[in-house]
Structure 1
Amino acid sequence: MPEEKIFNIPLRDAFERPRTRRAKIATDIVRNFLVRHMKSEKIKIGNSINKEIWKRGIQKPPRKIRIHALKEEDIVYAELLGVEIKTPSKEELKKKEEKKKEKKEKIKEERKERRKRTIQEEIEEEVKGKQKEMPEEKKEEKPKEEPKKEKAKEEKKA
């Protein structure tokens, strides 16, 4: 059984904050008010509330706002008073859940493919590195000749 309530939410606390953040804070006040009074953490604020708060810009949200809230299962839907609340049907919710599951599976598959690719690339790099090192090992190192200055010093001592 859905629970419906009408609230008159004061937004005056938003005016105690910086001018450039008031509308954002007003939406937070609405959300926190609904969490407290509807006893649910999942809040869906409607487009009409958002437009009403932002109508005069970020610096001047309304002082108070009247909303209509509807609680179905554990989700609260809120709209301005007089605006119809659109709640998704069970079929729509199932479709959304299926889409989420498909996306998760797709992401998992992509990650597995990336891991396989990176492992294969690492193996190829190691093989290439070993092939490059092998020719270097075959080369014989020639003893370096001593600089001429050192030879001259040895001859003077003798």
Structure 2
Amino acid sequence: MSTEATERIYTINLGKVLLSPNNQRAKRAINMIREFAIKHMKSENIKIEEEISHLVWARGIRHPPRKIRVKITKDDGNVIVSKYQEEKKAEETKSEKKSDDKKKSDKSKKEEKKVEEKKEDKKEKVEKKAEEKKESKTEEKPKKEEKKAEEKAVEEKKVKSEKKTKKE
């Protein structure tokens, strides 16, 4: 027997889980993952990591995922099913992460500035509208008074013209 560990990456289709009753789907998904590992690694000793279980149960018992990407490792008859993580993400160096963080912080600062500018513009518009309303109210009062005075003058003229017509 070889003592060398074999490692394979699979995408397991869990679509048939939907054929089972609502309240048993996540359980059935875990069993399907176990059956898949037994079939492909030809070993009965299967261990499913907690991450996989959390991934399947994340949306509850009724709505497990349709597909799941796993890394299956076989070592001396023991088979471990773990969550697959892309190599690019695992190999990313700290310097790359730092540069990404700087870029993100620069972008977030720019976005924050834009949001603040928009808020300031809105405040200015609201203030202008408020000032315009105040001005229009103050202008309306004299206009109303002028209208009343004009109306009184028109009435007085009518009264005078009526008196003249009566005299004649």
Matched, 1:4 2:31: no
Cα distance in 2 for residues equivalent to 1:82 and 1:31:
19
Matched, 1:43 2:51: no
Cα distance in 2 for residues equivalent to 1:2 and 1:63:
29
User: What are the within-5 Å matches in structure 2 for residues 16-27 of structure 1?
Assistant: 16-27=19-30
User: What are the within-5 Å matches in structure 2 for residues 2-151 of structure 1?
Assistant: 2-82=5-85
- Residue 78 (structure 1) shift: 1.0
- Name the structure where helix makes up a greater proportion of residues: 2
2:30 is paired with a residue whose SS is: helix
Task: Specify the code of the residue in structure 2 equivalent to 1:11.
Answer: L
Task: Specify the code of the residue in structure 2 equivalent to 1:34.
Answer: A
- Residue 13 (structure 1) shift: 0.9
Please tell me whether Structure 1 or Structure 2 has the larger radius of gyration of its CA atoms.
Answer: 2
Structure 2, unpaired ranges of 5+: 87-168
- Residue 82 (structure 1) shift: 1.6
Structure 1, unpaired ranges of 5+: 84-158
Aligned-residue sequence identity (percent) comes to 39
- Residue 39 (structure 1) shift: 0.6
* Equivalent in the alignment of 2:144: none
Cα distance in 2 for residues equivalent to 1:75 and 1:29:
18
- Residue 61 (structure 1) shift: 0.1
